[in-house]
């Protein structure tokens, strides 16, 4: 979702910025990968490292091992990495060892919770990066506290919103998605609307004492409005392992497998509210003006709380109930669209990166 608008902006830049797309294969489901590339009109990768699953350490090490020969063969002017996954840090580390400039898109976001693997990836990648593109101005203060020089940082906006705006008219309605899943669309066609639910973070789903109360409160919420739960494989497996399947057996809860990008976007566009522990959904719900209750104690995207539609409710069932009741009573956040969430972030990246690379080349030649 982040790379697709960047590659389009590179191609549209004059002169075009040549790029080689490397897919590490960290997200390794082939069907979901192919579907995502097609949905986003993203060219298929020039190189797929096919790393697959593993522990954080194994996955990071394997990406490094397989990426290094690519870097040696291609000798790029820079390597652009996005977000905060293991691949982001792994590729940045290889570049640092090889003295290849690193460009980080979505830099400076912080949850201030080092128990999150993504937080470690963010912190270390930003220390390695030579050019850092931020989605919100608050990220600059985080980077300044960590000693990152201001001249390395450029505020460009949010490429996730570029993708959302570019694809919003292509997204199917929720009723269509349900029909294709074999679910009667009347489930979500009532006056009360529906809520979209996702849960996948280990702190929420890996222990029965955490997962059980969350599923129980979701069952309660479904009595007030129907739920469409796009269930992560990790969550489904744990729910079965802990014997908690009965908690979600209700005609008012639709359980779906992970959805394609366009299908998920269509579900969000029609939702009354979102209940999730996802980072991306916090941003997308803010862009769509849909109230979001984030089932986490912290967020690396505080702008969605300060300016957007997001409210942190943690994993406390009482806070979740209260948040849902407020939204259904009409007191949910309406928020506003943050600065530079205008669909042109990738254009700004392309323009700045071209100038930055040209300046580096001139400096090296002098």
Is 112 considered catalytic here? Answer: no
Q: Going by C-beta distance under 8 Å and a sequence separation of 6 or more, which residues neighbour residue 334?
A: 289, 309
Virtual CA dihedral for 324, 326, 331, 332, nearest 10 degrees? -20
Residue 324 vs residues 195, 248, 260, 295, 349: alpha-carbon distances, Å: 10, 18, 26, 12, 38
Of the candidates 117, 76, 112, the one whose C-alpha atom is nearest the C-alpha of residue 94 is: 76
Contact 173, 270 (CB under 8 A): yes
Q: Are strands 227-230 and 273-276 parallel, antiparallel or unpaired?
A: unpaired
Q: Going by C-beta distance under 8 Å and a sequence separation of 6 or more, which residues neighbour residue 190?
A: 226
Burial (CB count within 10 angstroms: exposed 0-12, middle 13-18, buried 19+), residue 274: buried
Query: Sign of the CA dihedral 157, 307, 342, 160?
Result: positive
350 sits in the region (left: phi over 0; alpha: psi -120 to 50; else beta) called alpha
Residue whose tokens read 């579900």: 267
Contact 295, 320 (CB under 8 A): yes
168: which 2 tokens?
A: 């919003």
Of the candidates 131, 133, 120, the one whose C-alpha atom is nearest the C-alpha of residue 90 is: 120
Of the candidates 104, 200, 232, 361, the residue annotated as catalytic is 200
| d(C-alpha 109, C-alpha 338), whole Å | 15
3-state SS assignment for residue 2: coil
Omega of the bond leading into 12 within 30 degrees of 0 (cis): no
Residues with a known catalytic role: 200
């Amino acid at each position: 979702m982040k790379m697709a608008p960047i590659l389009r902006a590179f191609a549209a830049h004059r002169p075009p910025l040549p790029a080689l797309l490397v897919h590490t294969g960290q997200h390794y489901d082939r069907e979901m990968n192919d579907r995502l590339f097609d949905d986003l009109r993203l060219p298929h990768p020039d190189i797929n490292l096919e790393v697959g699953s593993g522990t954080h350490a194994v996955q990071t090490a394997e990406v490094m091992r397989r990426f290094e020969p690519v870097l040696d063969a291609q000798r790029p002017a820079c390597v652009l990495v996005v977000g905060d996954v293991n691949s982001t840090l792994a590729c940045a580390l290889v570049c640092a060892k090889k003295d290849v400039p690193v460009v980080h898109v979505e830099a400076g976001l912080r949850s201030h919770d080092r128990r999150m693997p993504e937080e470690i990836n963010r912190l270390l990648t930003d220390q390695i990066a030579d050019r850092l593109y931020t989605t919100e101005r608050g990220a600059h203060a985080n980077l300044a506290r960590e000693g990152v020089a201001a001249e390395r940082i450029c505020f460009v906006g949010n490429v996730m919103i570029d993708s959302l705006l570019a694809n919003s008219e292509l997204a199917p309605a929720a009723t269509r998605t349900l029909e294709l899943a074999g679910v009667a669309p009347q489930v979500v066609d009532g006056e009360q609307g529906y809520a979209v639910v996702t849960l996948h973070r280990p702190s929420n789903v890996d222990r029965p004492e955490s997962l059980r109360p969350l599923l129980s409160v979701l069952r309660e919420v479904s009595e007030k409005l129907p739920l469409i739960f796009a269930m992560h494989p990790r969550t489904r497996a744990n729910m079965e392992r802990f014997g908690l399947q009965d908690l979600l057996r209700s005609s008012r809860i639709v359980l779906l497998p992970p959805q394609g990008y366009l299908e998920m976007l269509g579900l969000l566009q029609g939702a009354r509210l979102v209940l999730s522990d996802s980072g991306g959904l916090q941003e997308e719900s803010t862009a769509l003006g849909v109230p979001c209750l984030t089932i986490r104690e912290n967020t690396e995207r505080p702008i969605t709380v300060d300016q957007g539609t997001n409210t942190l409710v943690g994993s406390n069932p009482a806070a979740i109930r209260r948040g849902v009741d407020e939204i259904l009573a009409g007191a949910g956040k309406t928020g506003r669209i943050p600065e530079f969430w205008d669909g042109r972030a990738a254009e700004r990246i392309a323009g700045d990166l071209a100038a930055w690379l040209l300046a580096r080349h001139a400096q090296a030649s002098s």
